[in-house]
Amino acid sequence: MERSLTLPALILGAGITLGLGFIGHSISDTVTNLKALDRTVSVKGLAEKEVMANIAIWPIRFNEVSNDLPALYDTVQQKSDKVVAFLKQQGFSDEEISLSLPAIEDRTAQGYSDPNLKYRYLAKVTVSLYTPKVDKLLEARKQIAALAREGIAIGGNEYESRPEFMYTELNNIKPAMVQEATQNAREVAEKFAKDSNSSLGKIKNASQGQFIITDRDSNSPHIKNVRIVSTVTYYLSD
C-alpha cells in the first residue's frame, strides 16, 4: 500500500526546490558580474617635454710635439695656462676647470724607428670644463678660434672633443608629466568606450613607464626631449 506524503515532507521538498532555484539564480548573477568585470580596455598615454640641459662637460684637447722632453713639458704648461685663461675670460671659475696630466708618448720606444719621424715625443693634453652655465659654454665654443691665435690647435676627433650636455632636474618635472600621460591615456580610453557604445569605469591597474631623455636633434644636443609612456587599464560597462 502506497504511503501518502505528510505535510512536513511537502514543506521540506518545496524548500529544497526554492533553495536550489535561488542558488542557481545567484550563480547566474555572479557569472554575469564576473563577465562584466572582464570587460576592460588597456591604453597608453604619452607625455613629452623639451628642456634645456643644465650641466655641460667640455673636454678641450690639443697635442704638442718635441724632441726635447723638458722643453715639451714647459710648452704644454704654457699652452694649458692659455686655455685656462681663455675659459676664465668667458666667465668660468677655477672650480669649473680641471687640467689632467698630459699623456706623453715616446714614439721611438716601439722597437723600431720610423725614418720619417720628425719628433720623438708627443704630448696629449685635455683641459676639462664642468659647468651649469650651458649658455656661456655655447657662446665660448664660438670664440674657440681665439686659441688658434695663441698657437693652440684644438685637436681630437669630433666625438672626443664635443661637449656633453645633461639634464639632471628630472624630479622637478616628473609629477606634471605623469599627470599629463595619465590624462592622455584617459582621453584615448574614453574615445574607445564611446566608439564601442560602452561607459568608462574605474582604473583596474596602471603602470608608469620609464622616463627617456634624448637629444632633440644632432645639431642641438643641449636641448633635451623628455618622454614617458604610461599604460592604464580601465573597466568598461554598458
pLDDT bracket for residue 20 (50, 70, 90): very low
C-alpha cell at 166: 645633461
Q: Is the pLDDT of residue 98 over 50?
A: yes
Please state the pTM of the whole predicted model: 0.75
Please determine, for residue 10, whether its predicted confidence score (pLDDT) is greater than 50.
no
Nearest CA to 143 out of 154, 133, 158 is that of 154
Query: What is the identity of the amino acid at 58?
Result: W
Cell digits for 135? 649658455
Residue 188 has pLDDT above 60, yes or no: yes
CA gap 225, 52 in Å, rounded:
9
**pLDDT tens-digit series, residues 151-184:** 888 875 555 678 999 999 999 999 999 999 999 9
DSSP letter for each residue of 4-63: PPPHHHHHHHHHHHHHHHHHHHHHHHHHHHHHHHT-EEEEEEEEEEEEE-SEEEEEEEEE
Domains of the chain in sequence order: 32-51+169-237 (3.30.110.170), 55-166 (3.30.70.2970)
Closest alpha carbon to 196 in 163, 235, 164, 139: 235
